Structure 1
């Protein structure tokens, strides 16, 4: 691994584009090393802290590489910000995303085909789209860029199973180089990312995580004093641009109202708001119309505001990685900025419940395994339907499917949309007349096998196979072509994953136990991550040094001189107030209606999730939120509640 140090010179080949398009005379530490590796034909990884210019590491090479640069980005808002920035620099970039009209998507695809667009940004889920894969496979690609690349690692704080497929897609699309970007990777995650993409350790560039201008303060604050402490902190200098991070959407709303009542210009921001409202709040903050945003972690990804002077954590962050990412949004201009945690352990149960809510019951895993054995040799999965059938949340369900792939029980074949429908924009006979011979007959058969309901025709692939023995791939290619030509408007839905069952002869009970243990290990890893975070906040060591060391930066000073520990204030976070004991009669009054509503007897863990207010597909089906017991014990520790339930209902597993 290479630790980037300030460069004494910049390679001449970059100077023209760097100055012409971006207006910079030189590159930041680490950027020149990464860019030279990419331009020289190597795959690479850039492990830079938030705000250190990771994006330039692909934007500058993209101008010199012969073909398309394909960027995987995790957030729509991030894509839009990046594209607006690139357009302002005269660089042809675009995205294909769910917010676009059919016409807009077609325009982007045409620009990519013609080579006019140099950078295309998509979400990782876009690669599951059969039509998109068919389109992009015909486009020569020079470089695959994976932003937030730590998502590929199960050791990371934000594991996303779809990222595990990226090395496979890279091979499928014949992409010669890959560039990984992340701001939050521990040594274990860095090693895992490099191994999955085959990147040599010499091509992994790590710059220092230490930020000399960030003042880190851990301020132990009892829960009932937090609002007053927040107001006091903000009112000391209300003109400073500030972000206040909270865990729950309701907290964001309540705090914004409280601060507004105190005469402060504060706005709530969270994923529960519609996108237009969120965009307006973000624009107002960027323009300085609002100086304070009270936000969940939905806010901040891609925010390129250099003068944020304060980042305040009203609630505990989810991990050290999240904390680092969030405080990294302060002081990107290099000027002094304050990062303050109003620390107490009161929100710890909520964070732990997020973790416990994602561990499926062993019986739910058995349901999935039975379905596999019942569908040999080919298993077709509509994930939303399987989630409801098995009562496993979508994210852990995707993780389970990946575990099954890794165990060689199933092998992914392809993904398709079960339903394709189109609306004619020109006369049907006109389309048929554009072809001759066998192709004309094939097009006629497509229309003959696509019954019309009002204005939309639905393609009957089974009927087409019986009529013409045409492969589905050819039919999809044909109607995609009609769409490109502007002859039809095309819609597709109900995404279906097709797996080949490679080993149906497994023992369901034994395999379910093995898989359940994997989830329990992951659960324990996440709980340990929370424990590590608490230890960090209560550390006797310099906070800046300890944070840098966590991310493999061993060059930070032993004593930074600008954190609460260096000022002699070692934190002890106040514990939660003791919750009242819940009697067995009260427990049964809350739980019995839930048990009665369940189609099969629930596990003790399922009842605990109900009491702790965790959502699941089953809860939606039986309308559990309407039952009086839902969420009654959300402030109680999960394990303590589980023990009580097991004692109250000893016959449940």
Structure 2
């Protein structure tokens, strides 16, 4: 940084003459030391707010980002502008991550980007406690709110982390925050109302089109719409969004057969293939991508001329975020909605699929109550193990634990790796000889109590602690880990950890297991009802009698959009009506019994009891459950036979079998 003037930094470092709308007030607030929230429309330049501010702050800026793709794109941008920035992520070699941490300790980094999950790592949190940090930046900050469209339980801990690492201020960034979500963000990080900067959601260059088409006619309608926009030499970059991976493959093949070069993009492809497809789209080599929501986060292609929703988006917030990728260069772009109500059943079933069985919640509550009877009242949780044992998928399980935290039943204390293993790079005796006095005695104690099988040895912290106590040497877990990390930094050993373990303190006394289970189960059902209502709100938007652009802006509390934009389909042609779903009726009792019989019989054979109605409905509707891995349920006849059918109706019928 060569100046104290943000305007000069904007020009000298980033090459921009002026700030975009909203950027300057955000930067000024952050540089002045105030926690701030920036609620900018997708593509409005949120990232620059922290990138520029970081150059005017004395210490490290820590950026919490939900996706690796976002971090990599932003890191490349920072490096192009000569800014000392780095990431630590799960794809890095250990040596590279260690060098990044050393750079941060030496004060050589201005920006460090990590995922929210990284903060659960015991060693990483110890590293952060050794580094002065000026600013915590939270990207996709709407994830902190249970009322947000992409609630992530780990985000609720971020205010605690800010306090733990003594970070004086926070900057929250999001493109999709309703007034209720903004209120949650402000409360969590003590942000004053005047320090929330919003840019508005109205974009005059986006033409919103609702053209609902019956499912059996939709592919033909897409071809008809795309063909004139894909003339050789004048191909308009376009993203077509679908819900399922198989739909992406099928639709891309259909477009190919009609002479439209398109590629499918989804999470089922390997990372190398996804990266190649993204590169080809960004460079203009490929003009049309048919994608699930796995595509788009972090994509900053300015000339996307069309965004098509072939299937229903997951929410108004998802829709806003996805159409926000069009026309970032300010040129006219079209956002076309082809979907009808036929996709609603799939989205609703995703919601119902996240409701845990009562028996699973009961298992978790019983474990907590049992831990509360121990002298230290500590409850150790390995998330994958608890998910398997309780038959609750990881995300709903994390949500359950956060609810228990908020109710004061449990409180997080610390996280550690349950297992560490070590391999010597230099001879153990040579390691001891590098120290003298008490330190040499301590290292000798380590070497003598880490048993090596072939080349690797497993750490037994209890054994080390007891050996140290007998020898009058401090061999506490924290000292052992600090020493071993130092040895690894020096290249003397290789240290690996696994089985992340969360330790909670049981705060509640005399837990009524049945009552608490019922309360939590009812809460999940209410949340599902709320999510279904959000889907209804989205459908009401697409069938709006008034200006679509105005109504979308009002959903996010933005009253600055014109009453009539004159360029949406409602303003130009009137309201649309989405065609009703043509879901076939459920099979009769005999057929339903035949579909369920293989699963019921196999469940009895393996687990010794019949499945619950919820479990049977999940099987028939093709919704994931951890226990299905144990049962190899996907291989059984009947799995997903009723996919797309109304889940509550399937569950009701399953309960009568």
Q: Same fold (TM over 0.5)?
A: yes
Normalised by the size of structure 2, how large is the TM-score? 0.96
Contact 1:560 1:566 in 2 (8 A): yes
- Using the alignment, how far apart are the partners of 1:234 and 1:449 within structure 2? 68
Q: Which residue of 1 aligns with 2:572?
A: 567
- Deviations 1:387-433 (Å, cap 9, x if unpaired)? 01000000000011111111221111111001111221222222212
Q: Which residue of 1 aligns with 2:472?
A: none
- Using the alignment, how far apart are the partners of 1:12 and 1:69 within structure 2? 17
Task: Give the drift of 1:343.
Answer: 2.2
Task: Give the drift of 1:641.
Answer: 1.5
Q: Which residue of 2 aligns with 1:356?
A: 352
Residue 347 of structure 1, aligned match among 340, 343, 349:
343
- 1:391-540 matched pairs, under 5 angstroms: 391-469=391-469, 470-540=475-545
Q: In the alignment, does 2:274 pair up with 1:278?
A: yes
SS in 1 for 2:151: coil
- Using the alignment, how far apart are the partners of 1:197 and 1:71 within structure 2? 15
Task: Give the drift of 1:585.
Answer: 1.0
Q: Which residue of 2 aligns with 1:638?
A: 647
- Deviations 1:108-135 (Å, cap 9, x if unpaired)? 1111111111100000000000010111
Residue 109 of structure 1, aligned match among 85, 101, 107:
101
Task: Give the drift of 1:364.
Answer: 1.0
Contact 1:446 1:459 in 2 (8 A): no
Contact 2:341 2:581 in 1 (8 A): yes
- Deviations 1:223-270 (Å, cap 9, x if unpaired)? 001111111111111100000000000000111111122222211111
Residue 624 of structure 1, aligned match among 621, 624, 633:
633
Q: Which residue of 2 aligns with 1:321?
A: 317
- Aligned-residue RMSD, C-alpha: 1.2
- Using the alignment, how far apart are the partners of 1:577 and 1:537 within structure 2? 19
Contact 1:67 1:142 in 2 (8 A): yes
- Using the alignment, how far apart are the partners of 1:635 and 1:643 within structure 2? 16
Q: In the alignment, does 2:116 pair up with 1:124?
A: yes
- Deviations 1:572-611 (Å, cap 9, x if unpaired)? 1111224044010111112122223332332212211111
- 1:140-159 matched pairs, under 5 angstroms: 140-159=132-151
Q: Which residue of 1 aligns with 2:292?
A: 296
Normalised by the size of structure 1, how large is the TM-score? 0.96
Contact 1:542 1:563 in 2 (8 A): yes
Q: Which moved more, 1:226-235 or 1:82-91?
A: 226-235
- Deviations 1:37-65 (Å, cap 9, x if unpaired)? 00001000000000000001100010110
Task: Give the drift of 1:287.
Answer: 0.5
- Deviations 1:55-114 (Å, cap 9, x if unpaired)? 011000101100000000011011000000100000011000011001111121111111
Q: In the alignment, does 2:258 pair up with 1:258?
A: no
- Using the alignment, how far apart are the partners of 1:203 and 1:286 within structure 2? 35
Q: Which moved more, 1:573-582 or 1:364-373?
A: 573-582
Task: Give the drift of 1:176.
Answer: 0.2
- Using the alignment, how far apart are the partners of 2:556 and 2:504 within structure 1? 38
- Using the alignment, how far apart are the partners of 1:444 and 1:597 within structure 2? 55
Q: Which residue of 2 aligns with 1:212?
A: 204
SS in 1 for 2:25: helix
Contact 2:206 2:326 in 1 (8 A): yes
- Using the alignment, how far apart are the partners of 1:562 and 1:175 within structure 2? 46
Q: Which moved more, 1:484-493 or 1:163-172?
A: 484-493
- Using the alignment, how far apart are the partners of 1:504 and 1:281 within structure 2? 55
Task: Give the drift of 1:504.
Answer: 4.1
- Deviations 1:421-476 (Å, cap 9, x if unpaired)? 12212222222122221111111112222111221121111100111142211111
Q: Which residue of 1 aligns with 2:557?
A: 552
Residue 229 of structure 1, aligned match among 221, 238, 243:
221
- Deviations 1:140-198 (Å, cap 9, x if unpaired)? 00000000000010000000000000000110000000000000000000001110111
Contact 2:149 2:317 in 1 (8 A): yes
- Structure 1: tracts of 5 or more residues without a match: 1-10
Q: Which residue of 1 aligns with 2:613?
A: 604
- Using the alignment, how far apart are the partners of 2:453 and 2:265 within structure 1? 42
- Deviations 1:521-555 (Å, cap 9, x if unpaired)? 11111111101000110110100000000011001
Contact 2:4 2:56 in 1 (8 A): no
Contact 2:583 2:645 in 1 (8 A): no
- Using the alignment, how far apart are the partners of 2:520 and 2:153 within structure 1? 15
- Using the alignment, how far apart are the partners of 1:425 and 1:160 within structure 2? 40
Contact 1:102 1:489 in 2 (8 A): no
Task: Give the drift of 1:12.
Answer: 8.1
Contact 1:144 1:170 in 2 (8 A): yes
Q: Which moved more, 1:108-117 or 1:541-550?
A: 108-117
Q: Taking structure 1 as reference, are residues 578 and 526 closer, same or farther at Cα in structure 2, changes over 3 Å only?
A: closer
- Using the alignment, how far apart are the partners of 1:544 and 1:178 within structure 2? 32
Q: Which residue of 1 aligns with 2:26?
A: 34
Residue 588 of structure 1, aligned match among 576, 582, 593:
593
Residue 61 of structure 2, aligned match among 64, 69, 93:
69
Q: In the alignment, does 2:308 pair up with 1:312?
A: yes
Q: Which residue of 1 aligns with 2:39?
A: 47
Q: Which moved more, 1:102-111 or 1:129-138?
A: 102-111
- Deviations 1:266-314 (Å, cap 9, x if unpaired)? 1111111111111111111111110011100010111110000000000
Contact 2:369 2:513 in 1 (8 A): no
- Deviations 1:558-583 (Å, cap 9, x if unpaired)? 00001000012311111122404401
Contact 2:349 2:644 in 1 (8 A): no
- Using the alignment, how far apart are the partners of 2:301 and 2:212 within structure 1? 29
